Every structure is written in structure tokens, then in C-alpha cells.
Chains A and B, each alone.
Chain A
Amino acid sequence: MKLRIKFKKQGPVRFIGHLDVMRFFQKAIRRADIDVVYSSGYSPHQIMSFAAPLGVGLESSGEYMDIEVNSVTNSQDMINRLNAAGVPGIEIVAVRELPNNAANAMASVAAAAYTVIFREGREPRFDYIKELDSFIKQESILIKKETKKGIREVDLKPGIYQLSADKEGIHMLVDASSAGNIKPVKLIEAYLELHQESLQENALCINREETYTNIGTADEPQLVPLDDIGEDIV
């Protein structure tokens, strides 16, 4: 059976890269004695996949990983066992069973919500809360993207679903699919460029609030958290 695990990544562990997070979970699953399925062949590995890799330095309240297991107890027990075998900073918040026909985590990712804060002393000079509205009202938001074939111009606007700002920070809901992924730092850079400013080094604290899948259609999208399609196990 397929399980979708939701977890947070906060604090010092934000400096652990994605591949090391995978390795962390492989060992945590062993420590927690979860009945995970192994692939067949000469070097069997745990059947595990992640939704969207999180860059080093970012925190998150809504990360997802799918695993395949032979048997389970119940959601709360799985959560407790994984947390007991884990470290502070990586907290399991949900374990849900997926329907058999569910697409894998990575393929399911449609969007992600971020909160971005400027570090003290590295804010832009202009009033970024007030000016945000005119930024998003532009016809297009073009950035230069470096690809193997050279520099391409990409329009960020279609991939920005929501954008607002208050004293808690800049909140955005953006495309996070593998084809159209928008990095918060790119969006902020484009915003600052509109006001002839550039982003200082390490200026941003970024928290990924949630990762979403689209249970509607391309024309009428309906974004829900990635594990909404699963069920708690009792």
C-alpha cells in the first residue's frame, strides 16, 4: 500500500540538502521499524519518493514523501514512531494512505505556497508592501533564464496564482510543477528589478508553507494540499 507522509523541516536542519534528507528518512524508517517495501534486484532500496526538493537554507511546514509499505498499524502510531526515531526540526505531521491509482508525489505537485521575509537590514528601499499590487498587475513579468541552449526569456506571470504582502512578509502561491517551477527568489528579484534595485546576498528567509496538487482541471484548477487525496489510517 502507498502512504503519503507530510513533514516539517525547520531550524538548523534547513542546512541539510535534499539528498541527505532522503538518506535521513531511509534510516529513520529502519529505526522506526516501518514495514517498508524494498525493490528487487541486486541492490534493493526502499521504495520512496519525494514531492518537491527543498533548497538548502529554506524551511518548510509542508513537505511530502511517498513510501510503499507491506503493512501499517495506524496513522497516529506511524507518526509517533517516526518522530521518536527522528530529530527535532524534522517533524512528521501526517501519514495517510493513498488510493492505488494515485500519481506519485513528484508528478502530483502543481503549486506551492511560500512566505518570504527580508532579513533585517537587507530590505529594499522602496515600500515593497504598497507597490506589490502594481507589480502583479503588469501584463507580463519577464525574467532571463539560463538554459543549456543559451539565455531564454520566461514569463513568470501565468505561474503566479496569488501574491500579497503584509507585515508578516510576502505571501505567494506559485507554480511548483517540474515544468513550470517558480523559485521565490526569482520572483523577488524580478520585483526588485522593476524598482531598479537588486537583491542583496542571503537577503531572504523563505518558508514553504504548503505543497499543492490540482484535483480540478487545467482550465478550472482546484488546488489542495498534496495529502488531501489520502485517508488517515485508523
Chain B
Amino acid sequence: MNTKLALSDDVLMKVEKPARYIGNEVNSVIKDKEKIKIRLAMCFPDVYEIGMSHLGIQILYDMFNSMEEVWCERVYSPWVDLDKIMREEKIPLFALESQDAVKDFDFLGITIQYEMCYTNILQVLDLAQIPLTSAERGEDMPIVIGGGPCTYNPEPIAEFFDIFYIGEGETRYADLMQLYLECKQNGVGREEFLFRAASIPGLYVPRFYQATYQEDGKLASFHPLKAGIPAVIVKELVKNIFDTYYPMKPVVPFIKVTQDRVVLEIQRGCLRGCRFCQAGQLYRPVRERDVEMLKRYALEMLANTGHEEISLSSLSSSDYSMLPELIDFLIEECSKKHINISLPSLRIDSFSLDVMSKVQDVRKSSLTFAPEAGSQRLRDVINKGLTEEAILNGAALAFQGGWTRVKLYFMLGLPTENEDDIWGIGDLSNKIAAVFFEVVPKEMRKNGKVQIVSSTSFFVPKPFTPFQWARQCDKEEYLGKAYQTRKAISSQLNQKSIKYNWHEADLSVLEGVLARGDRRLSQVILRAYQKGCFYDAWSEYFHNDLWLKAFEDCGLTVDFYTRERDTADILPWDFIDCGVTKAYLIREWKKAVKQEVSPNCRERCQGCGAARFDCGICLAERNG
């Protein structure tokens, strides 16, 4: 047992949920410090409960620890209360397994899943007592490496990282570890090591690249500063996930975390091509895992963790070709062992309703539809092929099956959106309520009621989507649309059955700025952090006024970054190749404006460019 704790009893008794900081969890890996050569701290820059729910870190944790010479430990953002104490008492940030200070490690890996965690990245570096910028770090500091979806536009945080790993983590880390050991053995310094790392496929080392700007602030050029490193960085992906690696013994937390269950990744990528969705583009082409492997993994992971629930993870689970077989297997095995099955949002049809009624209590759970837009016209613009007919039919089947709660997800601020589209949100919500009263006879209605909850989030244009050139709404426009939606709903006949929720507008604006930002924003992020911003993803800690002051202090504006882009512009993320080509994205952008839909990958190949990776659905027989 590792009885060493980095925090004293006094501190642990003062903070909320001390179990966040003691390690020793089931399946956590302890290695002998004397016997390993590389120490790596893997970080999710948010509090323990959020970080422990992330599947990606579990995969990498397992992968690194399977390397004999590497010991990978975990570190998460200390909560607000401990953060304060650590600063007052100068306690350095420590990894959970060994309780040792992270600054003494060889690598600090940070997974970057959403833009609003950027200030927490600075918090982690600061508490670890590691200089915040790559340029300031000396020979004895860990190599700070970032991974995850935000690395597809890493520029706003480029100054803070030594290396970015673009793409799926299973492929190149062994090469990087080997290079590191070689350099260490031969006395090669940090700068030279980073230079050699820059030639490993998929790795981006910001210090060797330079961005220059035009008078108007737009990017003029972006190029490598030295010969021998790539001008374009191609993402890494695992071509064959059909029967590859999967972590069998995920760490089991003591405390309740957001995802307190076994998570089974059934496929990567998505074939739908919805135009607002970044993940759908970044992870192309869609690749399925073998169903027999998944069945074995499911049982083994349940046995190794003791979790009472298992869930399926993918971008569009209804499209997994072996879904019925997998679900039937899980229902049979899980009911024997009193294990719940949590199904992600499935397309609502008779198959999924049948399945859901077997795994959920229909009286208590709700069904989710994600039309995303209120009118068929706008749904065609965003290429979300869900028709009103399909929704109403699905709703009818659901109500007949005993469901009484429906959730609807929409976005406001999509390109070409007009008042009729917003009105359509109210109209559609109302029609669904009406269907309930039509198909369920009075005597069968429990409490006589149906509850529709319609939520709108605010559309944020993201890099590598056909909408990456779109203008983003400002806060007033977003709120105006939310107000219109509220009126559209409250004026409906069945408005008593419909509840409306909307999101924070200023957070969405900031998210968009960071998503499509350039290197100059690192000053703004640093300034905001210095003013006390962190845990921005948590509404109780988000201070928009401080962020706006930070922009002002740095002489930059929010509006510059939310503006519409020209297809001829050089974009800050153009130096990355994620598979889909710019030509394809421009084609889709033009089709969107003309309300033309594109078929999905299974129906007809659209020539997006991902086929050159030679794997997944691109190899299947289809038209076109």
C-alpha cells in the first residue's frame, strides 16, 4: 500500500471530497520507481469526477503502463478549495499514484477536450510549478504534451505546450518514448529533442513554427522555421480498430463520478456528415470494432471493475452495423447479473424502442430526439437528415409503448436561420405533444400528462467543418433568438406540456472565439487566468467580465474572432490535415447555403478526402 500522501491530514480534512486526492483506487497502477525509465503524468484539466469519466485517458493510461519502461500516473485539477490552499502553502501539484510532484516527471500529458478548460491548463502548470510557456521551460522541466480534439486548432494555446499530438493516441507514443530515451542516454538537450520530435508523424512542435499577420489582423502566413520539419501535419489514426487494443482494467474511483460505469467504445468516426459537427469530420473515416471482441471486452471489464452499469460509446450508435446482436447479448448477460445498460441517444424507431423498454423503466426515463433545427429547410442546410415524419412516427410509437417524456435538442444561430425556422421549434414541440393526445386514449394516460422538454444550445462554428467560415452570433443575437423561441413555444396550443431550456450565451461566444482563434489569443488566456479565471466550464466560476477585460488589455476583440471568414483566407488550423479536404468543406458549405443535402458515407461516397487513409467504411462497397 502506498501510504504516502502529498497532502497533510489537516489539508485533507479541510477540503471537500478528500478522496479526490488520495489515489489507491482499484486498478490504479503502481510501479517501482527504480525499475522504470520514464515517468509520465496524464492530466485531464478539470476536477477528478469529470476527468475520471473520460475514456481517452483510461486508454492511454493502460497503453503507457503496458510499456515496461514507462510509469503513467494520473493528475486532475484540484478543486477551488484545494487550489487556494496549495497556493498559500506552496504545495506542488502531485500525481495520484505516487503522490510525487509532477514537475519531477519526464512528461506531462494534457488531454484537451473542450475550449473552456484552457485556463485550467494554466492552473495545472502553475500549481505544478512548471513555467507556463514552452519558451521559459528549462532542461529539468517535464515535456508538456497536449492531445485531444482541441489540438485540431491548437494555436490559442500553442505557447503553453512543448508538443501537440494530433490524432488518435495509440500510434506514435512508443516512437516518442524511444526518441526520449535515446536523447537522454546520449545527453541530447531539450531543444534538440523537440526538434527531432517534430519529425515524428502527427506531432506538432509550436516553437518551430511562426505565424505572421496582415495589417487587418488576419493570418498572412504560417510556416516552419527550420528545414526538415513538415509544413503540414497529418493526423494520426488507428486504421484497424477492428480487433485492436482496449483497456480491460479501467481505474475504479471510490467516489461517485459523472460516468460511473463501464464504457464500451463500439466504433470511431461517423458516417452522417452533419455540417455543424466537428467530431464527425475529425474522426473520419468511421471504423467499427468487431462485435465478438466487444462482447468479450464487455464481460471482462465488468468482471474487473464491478460496475453496475455499462454504456455504449460512439458518435452515432444506431449506425453500428452489429448493434442488434450486441444489444441482445448485453441484455441477456446483464440481466443475469443485475447490471444496467445505459444506451446513448439512438435513432427513435421500433427497434430502439423495443430495446429501450427492456433496459429502462419507461415510466421514469425520457426519449431524446435531436432535430437540431426547427424546420426541414434548416435541417437540410445542416444536413441533419431527420424528417418531421420520422420524428412524429417515432414519438407515436414511443407514447404507445408507455413513454411520457420526450427531450428535444435544438441549436440557435445556425447559418441562414430565419424567424420561420425558430417558429418551427415551437411548432414541432407542439405537434409531438399533440401526437400524445391523439394516440394515447384518455384512460391510458397516467396523470393525463405528457412532458416535452425542448432545449436550445447556441451554435458555435468549429474548425474542419463546412461551417468553419460562418459568422458566429454575438450574445445579444443569441439571446434574441432564445426569446423568440420562448415566444414560439408559449404561444402553442399544448404549451402547458412543453418546457423550454436554453444555455448561457456569453460562454458560447467565448467558446467560438477560442475554437477559431490564432496564437495571439494566448495572451488573452494568460491575462484572464492572471485575473483569476479558471473552471470556466462551471457556470458558478465563469466570469465573462474578466475575460472581456483581458481582451481589452491585450488590444484584441471578440468580434474579430467571431466574424465570417472568406474561403480564400488562410485559417490558423490550415497547417493540419485531418483527412477531409478544404475543397470538400467548401463544396459542403456551398450546398448548405442552397439547402442541398448530401448522402451519408454508407449511401454514397462524397469524396471528402478521408479515403486516402485506406480503412473503415471507405473500403466498403457502395455507390459513388
Interfacial residues, chain A to chain B (CB-CB below 8 A): 11-13, 15-17, 20, 23-24, 26-31, 33, 38, 42-44, 56-57, 85-89, 119, 201-202
Q: How long is the Cα–Cα vector from A73 to B486 in the complex, in angstroms?
A: 62
Q: How long is the Cα–Cα vector from A157 to B568 in the complex, in angstroms?
A: 86
State whether the Cβ of B426 lies closer than 8 Å to any Cβ in chain A: no
Assuming A28-B306, A29-B306, A30-B306, is B26 touching A86 (CB within 8 A)?
yes
B 278-323 contacts with A by CB, 8 A = 302-308
Determine the chain B residues whose CB is within 8 A of the CB of A17 once the complex forms. 19
Check A202–B19 contact: CB distance below 8 A. no
Q: How long is the Cα–Cα vector from A70 to B305 in the complex, in angstroms?
A: 22
Determine the chain A residues whose CB is within 8 A of the CB of B252 once the complex forms. 27
In-complex Cβ contact of A27 among B1, B9, B307 (8 A)? B307
Assuming A20-B255, A88-B1, is B337 touching A30 (CB within 8 A)?
yes
State whether the Cβ of B35 lies closer than 8 Å to any Cβ in chain A: no
Q: How long is the Cα–Cα vector from A85 to B306 in the complex, in angstroms?
A: 9
Check B256–A27 contact: CB distance below 8 A. no
Q: Tell me the smallest distance from the CB of B53 to a CB of chain A, in Å.
A: 15
Determine the chain A residues whose CB is within 8 A of the CB of B12 once the complex forms. 15, 57
Additional A-B contacts beyond A16-B19, A16-B255, A85-B306 (8; CB < 8 A): A12-B2, A13-B22, A15-B12, A20-B19, A26-B308, A27-B252, A85-B26, A89-B24
Q: Indicate with 1 or 0, residue by residue over B528-559, a CB within 8 angstroms of chain A CB atoms.
A: 00000000000000000000000000000000
In-complex Cβ contact of A13 among B24, B305, B307, B338 (8 A)? B24
Determine the chain A residues whose CB is within 8 A of the CB of B10 once the complex forms. 201-202
Check B24–A12 contact: CB distance below 8 A. yes
Check B18–A15 contact: CB distance below 8 A. yes
- What 4 pairs between A and B have smallest CB-CB spacing? A88-B1, A27-B306, A30-B306, A31-B306
Check B338–A27 contact: CB distance below 8 A. no
Determine the chain A residues whose CB is within 8 A of the CB of B24 once the complex forms. 11-13, 87-89
Q: Tell me the smallest distance from the CB of B336 to a CB of chain A, in Å.
A: 11
Determine the chain A residues whose CB is within 8 A of the CB of B23 once the complex forms. 12
Q: Tell me the smallest distance from the CB of B297 to a CB of chain A, in Å.
A: 16
Check B306–A44 contact: CB distance below 8 A. no
Q: Tell me the smallest distance from the CB of A32 to a CB of chain B, in Å.
A: 8
Check A57–B9 contact: CB distance below 8 A. yes
Determine the chain B residues whose CB is within 8 A of the CB of A57 once the complex forms. 9, 12-13
CB-nearest residue of chain A to B260:
A23
Q: How long is the Cα–Cα vector from A26 to B304 in the complex, in angstroms?
A: 13
Check A24–B254 contact: CB distance below 8 A. yes
Check B254–A12 contact: CB distance below 8 A. no
**Which of A27, A29, A56, A86 gathers the greatest number of chain B CB atoms within 10 Å?**
A27
Q: How long is the Cα–Cα vector from A85 to B256 in the complex, in angstroms?
A: 19
Q: How long is the Cα–Cα vector from A208 to B390 in the complex, in angstroms?
A: 62
Determine the chain A residues whose CB is within 8 A of the CB of B256 once the complex forms. 20, 23
Q: How long is the Cα–Cα vector from A190 to B303 in the complex, in angstroms?
A: 49
Q: Indicate with 1 or 0, residue by residue over B481-495, a CB within 8 angstroms of chain A CB atoms.
A: 000000000000000
Q: How long is the Cα–Cα vector from A30 to B302 in the complex, in angstroms?
A: 8
In-complex Cβ contact of A31 among B13, B19, B303 (8 A)? B303
Assuming A27-B252, A27-B305, A31-B303, is B13 touching A12 (CB within 8 A)?
no
Check B306–A11 contact: CB distance below 8 A. no
Q: Tell me the smallest distance from the CB of A35 to a CB of chain B, in Å.
A: 11
Determine the chain A residues whose CB is within 8 A of the CB of B304 once the complex forms. 31
Q: Tell me the smallest distance from the CB of B51 to a CB of chain A, in Å.
A: 17
Q: How long is the Cα–Cα vector from A45 to B369 in the complex, in angstroms?
A: 31
Determine the chain A residues whose CB is within 8 A of the CB of B504 once the complex forms. none
Q: Tell me the smallest distance from the CB of B43 to a CB of chain A, in Å.
A: 21
A-B contact pairs, 6 of them (CB 8 A): A12-B3, A16-B22, A31-B26, A31-B305, A44-B338, A56-B13
Determine the chain A residues whose CB is within 8 A of the CB of B302 once the complex forms. 30
State whether the Cβ of B326 lies closer than 8 Å to any Cβ in chain A: no
Q: Indicate with 1 or 0, residue by residue over B428-441, a CB within 8 angstroms of chain A CB atoms.
A: 00000000000000
In-complex Cβ contact of A42 among B22, B307, B361 (8 A)? B361
Q: How long is the Cα–Cα vector from A109 to B255 in the complex, in angstroms?
A: 27
